[in-house]
Amino acid sequence: MVTMSDVAREAGVSVMTVSHILNGRPRASEATRQRVLDVVAELGYEINLTARGLRSGRTNTVALIVPSFHDYFGEIADRLAVLLEASGLHLVLERTAGTAEHERDALSLARLKMYDGVLLSAHGISREELETVSAAVPLVLLGERRMPDDIDHVRLDNVEGARLATEHLIARGARRIALLGGAFETEPGMASSRREGWEIAHGEAGLTHDPRLITPVEDYSMDCARTAMRALLDSGQHVDGVFAITDVVAQGALSALGERGLRVPDDVQVVGFDDLEIDEFMTPGLTSVNPNHELLASTAVRLLTERIAGRSRAAVHEVIPVRLVERGSTR
């Protein structure tokens, strides 16, 4: 392995001069600079980032930690990577879920400290653990759970998104609107926020919402959503609209509706949440709430880079506005 001192010796300078030059510090003569760069190229020298990290205490790397790699975070991650690059930061993805016993491990402080900052979609983790992480490394939370007030946090305007979706269904004539993936729990989180929007829209329209139309879904997978939708249809409840708490859940609902021969939007209108790329390509297209990932990502990056820069300020809880995208699954 060729090290910096190999380069220094070959170029006839000291190690420090090489270091200065490679780090772009502007205090080397052009001649020395060129000679050093030539030797670097000739020897194929690559800086050892581990050594630099140990010495400087910085890795120029940020981690995005998500429950699983194959959910909707991919799209956000792509945006984050581009934005972070502008600040000279590199993004890597880590996951927490999978083997449950290792969840703690993936979030071990030791590993997190390898990063200059962490973007975390917190799910199973406790508030105490979050506090510990936050004390150890610049941290910005993404997600809907109730979060400690003293940690930066970016989340969607779930209540408004759900309200828009439900309002739209009502405006298009739906009166029996199932809330698929809804929850009865009151702990502020995605499910209860979206339920709140569903209730508000009913109230604003002078309608009463029927709690029997709140249909929990075990884990927001297509499979569980389809099972839940089947059960709802079998229960004999009249349903002429579905607000699905995510687009994935909406896919499950559409599958169940198709099985029963119910037409969308003629018999049942459907709205989802996430505005996945595929929504536009389905037949009919899926009306959905666009989560404004662009703004979500840029806000998260701004907060995190501020923290990394050591700017001391009160924690910020940003709420990202959303909008409805109308397609053929509603009239």
Question: Residues interacting with DNA, by CB under 7 A?
Answer: 1, 3-5, 13-17, 19-20, 22-23, 26-29, 31-33, 47-48, 51-52, 54-56
- Of 147, 150, 85, give the one whose Cα is nearest residue 120: 147
Site membership for a copy of itself, residue 46 (CB under 8 A): yes
Integer Cα distance of 286 and 144 in angstroms: 23
Site membership for a copy of itself, residue 69 (CB under 8 A): yes
Contacts of 152 (CB under 8 A, 6+ apart): 139, 140, 141, 303, 304, 307, 315, 316, 317
Within 10 angstroms of residue 233's Cβ, the number of other Cβ atoms is: 19
Task: Report phi then psi at 167, rounded to 5.
Answer: -55, -45
Sole binder of a copy of itself in the list 31, 266, 277, 312 (CB under 8 A): 277
* Element containing residue 66 per DSSP (H, E): strand 61-66
Nearer to DNA, 15 or 37 (CB): 15
Q: Which does 114 bind (CB under 5 to 8 A by kind): DNA, a copy of itself, none?
A: a copy of itself
Nearer to DNA, 45 or 198 (CB): 45
Burial classification of residue 311, based on how many CB atoms lie within 10 Å of its CB (0-12 exposed, 13-18 middle, 19 or more buried):
exposed
Name the minimum Å distance from CB 35 to DNA.
9
Q: Which does 316 bind (CB under 5 to 8 A by kind): DNA, a copy of itself, none?
A: none
Sole binder of a copy of itself in the list 12, 38, 42, 78 (CB under 8 A): 78
* Element containing residue 62 per DSSP (H, E): strand 61-66
Q: Which does 95 bind (CB under 5 to 8 A by kind): a copy of itself, DNA, none?
A: a copy of itself
Nearer to a copy of itself, 111 or 331 (CB): 111
Q: Which does 19 bind (CB under 5 to 8 A by kind): DNA, a copy of itself, none?
A: DNA
Name the minimum Å distance from CB 32 to DNA.
4
Site membership for a copy of itself, residue 7 (CB under 8 A): no
Sole binder of a copy of itself in the list 9, 19, 53, 316 (CB under 8 A): 53
Question: Cis link prior to 188 (omega < 30° from 0)?
Answer: no
Contacts of 29 (CB under 8 A, 6+ apart): none
Residue where the block lists tokens 């581009």: 82
Within 10 angstroms of residue 30's Cβ, the number of other Cβ atoms is: 7
Residue 153's identity, in one-letter code, is H
Partnered with residue 235 across adjacent β-strands are none
Integer Cα distance of 229 and 215 in angstroms: 8
Contact code string over 282-301 relative to a copy of itself, x by CB under 8 A: xx------------------
In the complex, the residues that contact a copy of itself under the rule CB under 8 A are 46-51, 53-54, 59, 63, 68-71, 73-75, 77-78, 81-82, 85, 90-95, 98-99, 102, 106, 108-111, 113-114, 136, 222, 226, 251-252, 254-255, 258, 277-278, 280-283
